[in-house]
Amino acid sequence: MASGNAIRGSRVGAGPMGEAERGDSAPRLRISFWCSNGHETQPSFAGDAQIPETWDCPRCGFPAGTDRENPPDPPRTEPYKTHLAYVRERRSDADGEAILAEALAKLRGEI
């Protein structure tokens, strides 16, 4: 004898879905955006929504704009700087030589 649970295997809201049950869908706009790599993406927006100037490209991550001929420039990423690179920005070579000479003198017991 089968179980008496009539809704087994179904979920809430399951059934024929259509405009009659859900109502009319909101008006939508599909806007094309192009990135500097030439990728096109077409997100859809509500008819009364404010369209953004840029949109992130889902393929490469660069910013995309609505002008196909003049897409936004990709962001300029700074390379990773080591600790030594930051020290060289703050100190001149002469300062480095003086600090090295002082440290060597201290190690040799001259100070």
**What residues form the annotated binding site for Zn(2+)?**
35, 39, 57, 60
> Which residues are annotated binding-site positions?
35, 39, 57, 60
* 55 contacts 63 by C-beta, under 8 angstroms: yes
Distance CA 8, CA 42 (A): 40
Distance CA 83, CA 90 (A): 11
Q: List C-alpha distances in Å: 75 to 36, 64, 72, 78, 82.
A: 11, 11, 9, 10, 21
Distance CA 14, CA 26 (A): 22
